[in-house]
Chains A and B, each alone.
Chain A
Amino acid sequence: MNYGMVLRVIGNLIVFEAFSMVTALAVAFYYKSSDIYAFVNTIMIMLVVGYPLSKLKVKNKDMKHKEAISIVTFGWFVVSAFGALPFMFTGALPSFTDAFFETVSGLTTTGASVLTDIEILPRGLLFWRSFLHWTGGMGILVLTLAIMPTIGVGAFQIFKAETPGPVADKIVPKMKDTARILYTVYLGITVIEVVLLMVGGMSLYDALVNTFGTVGTGGFSNYNASIGHYQNHYFYFVIGFFMVASGVNFSLYYELYRGRVKTIFSNLEFKVYIGIVIAATLLVFFNILGRYESIPATLNQAFFQVSSIITTTGYATTDFDLWPDFSKGILFLLMFVGASAGSTGGSIKVIRLIILFKLVKREVLKILHPRATIPVQINGKMLNTDVISGVTGFFFLYMLLFVGGTLLVSLENVGLVSAASAVAATLGNIGPGLDFVGPTKNYSLFSDATKWLLSFMMLFGRLELFTFFIVMTPSYWKKV
């Protein structure tokens, strides 16, 4: 393996993180909050470590699959570790385990927290926590690709390894341009949401924090009661809408820009995704009818919670843990659906479920008509067997991790519902689960070992299982 190249790219990544932390530092300066030195120190440390690495002389710049996977996996790990430092330096989370958990949760856009009281934290730190969502949402490495294309040809390998979904495709021929288009879309959505929230009367700081959490489908808020703090249905709807919008494949926005509206509405994943959101909202709505002051309010609550879970954001406007079992069941199932491929959302993703359904349908037809030829096709294109076996493998591994994780977390004696939903919510990058880890509670009750386990679950989920899993297999470390 070309270690030099891997270290160099990771060095660049650390320098970038240092730069991105300057924004948080600026916020801390503006509010003269107590966390200025925590940021200054962290930035210094990151520059001291990252800069020499990024200038490392490498003999050959070859990047193959293995290098790309190593960069993505270790890159995320290293960036999380450095990102955790401000939490430790400010004393908000003195233990590294907690700080790491919180940072991973931010970067992987999970939104699961171990902080018991958010509102007492300095504003710079809260900003940083949410900013992690924003940088992690589209992929820290894709961001690096967009602004600094040192990586050349290996870039596509990295892009493939970091982008959610079974098949990653470029939108335009140049990798650099593809990354830039994706980030332009991302930035565009961000700006529109901030403006809309401010129109409704939210302060710029709150609007930014909530927007980062929304478009990154993360879910960190600066209030203990999450979005429910505002008690404002306009905010609920705007944020709900943008959560759904961030769960759409970003390449469709490029189609929109090119005026191909037809392509968007004939996109199978988009149709199914919107269909699931509508169906789940209606089911929950009828189930919780009468719990809120008016029918529109009830509908809004149902919509918000559904879109929050399906897009794996994890915001809450109400304690859905108090809802009837049927509604909780729907939300729990939505944790396994996730958003569209190529969006910022996590979990299994709609497209994979569609492919799995088509596979089941094919099996049934095959039993009835053994000689039938039934290609599995999406948007009129036949999927090749590699993609299909990749999807089935992904699903199995996802379930394996879910079951295995649940078993381990159940050692904590918090009840099976809490254990299962904690694993589902971290593996799917959602955030809050049910019962002990419900929307009004947090993950601080778990032991350190469980926190590490769940941190890994989040990384597993964000990097689409295999990228992260490969590094843990013996064959990765063999020199073949």
Chain B
Amino acid sequence: MQLKQLSVFMENRAGRLAEITRVLADAGVNIRALSLADTSDFGILRLLVDDPDKAIRGLSEAGLTVRATEVVAVEIADRPGGLATILALLQGSGINVEYMYAFLERHKDNAILVFRFEEPKKAAEVLREANIKVFTAEEISKL
């Protein structure tokens, strides 16, 4: 199962992140997970939200460049070795990770990892076959 992640291009300047998150707030969009990749000049804000389509509309109307990409979110136990196990599994199947970020699940002892793969479908299959929980869009939205 793949999820729709939104990426937003932003210039690296004071207050810009606050402005962009304000746009999402005004559109009534709730952020589930967020990661920021940056260089000295620009950044890419990556977001999982409860309603991606609504978020795309809001961000585009505010004049921002938004792109939707497919990512895979999986659940792992929040203890030493949790991530290492998954990465070893992916490496063994010849699947490359473009980038990833993690967040903790509320009221549970689990962490959620968000992966960007070159081949998200294949990666999701491999993970599911190894009995790793892969989230659906609906589950992410209800977290």
On whether the two chains bind one another, the answer is: no
